[in-house]
Amino acid sequence: MLFEKKYVFTRSLESRIYTDAELIRLPEVDVEHCHYKEWMIRKRSVRRLTAYLAAKRRPLEILEIGCGNGWLSHQLAGIPGTEVTAMDINFTELQQGARVFSDDPNLHFVQGDIRSGVLADSLFDCILLAASIQYFPSLKKTIYKCLSQLTPDGELHIMDTIFYQPWEIAEARQRTTAYYTALGCPEMADFYFHHCANELQSFHHEVKFKPHTLLKKLIGIRDPFPWVLIRK
């Protein structure tokens, strides 16, 4: 698949392909790591999510869409009573995750695209898109598909992704094109989509974490990504 080939190539150029030993430690990385600050952001976001889900104190069927190497699904599998399905079209990293986290009895890896119907007969209490919604061309269609696979009181969580205001999108696209061109894989810009925050208004949503508030700035929190919860 063209996307997978370009995506893995780009990940390699960005130093985001991890050894098994590195993967099993994520989100912990050495302070000298080139993506240390980013991983500290991801560490805080997963801590917020796992605390929220654990507080439900009931069995949960969880699906992570776009799980990559599965590090986050592995963290979710540590919540008592969960069954976690980690799905991605990227076989390279998916295979690594299945191998590295093979000792997790409640973590299962599936190769596929949620839009293809590969899990059409399954319903989940929680569906998660973490740092992955930007690879789906239509935000609304993706959300509707996810909502169709939630239990009646299920929740969709979108995390670690920037949502833009309408007037920001053109410039953001230019930055993305310039970034991937400089990286040496300009074609990857065709697979990266900038979604507008206004599109969320069509859904019963709540922003669980708002970045850049004055209080967060005062106490030194610089996490740039919102955490959006959408209910059926």
Mean per-residue pLDDT pooled into runs of 10, the chain (232 residues): 88 96 98 95 96 98 98 98 97 97 98 92 97 98 98 98 95 97 96 97 94 51 86 92
- Predicted local distance difference test score (pLDDT) of residue 219: 41
Enter the pTM of the model. Answer: 0.94
Annotate 115-144 with DSSP letters as a single string.
GGTTTTT--EEEEEEES-GGGSS-HHHHHH
Domains and CATH numbers, the chain: 2-111+118-231 (3.40.50.150)
What the block records as the tokens of 229 is 């919860």
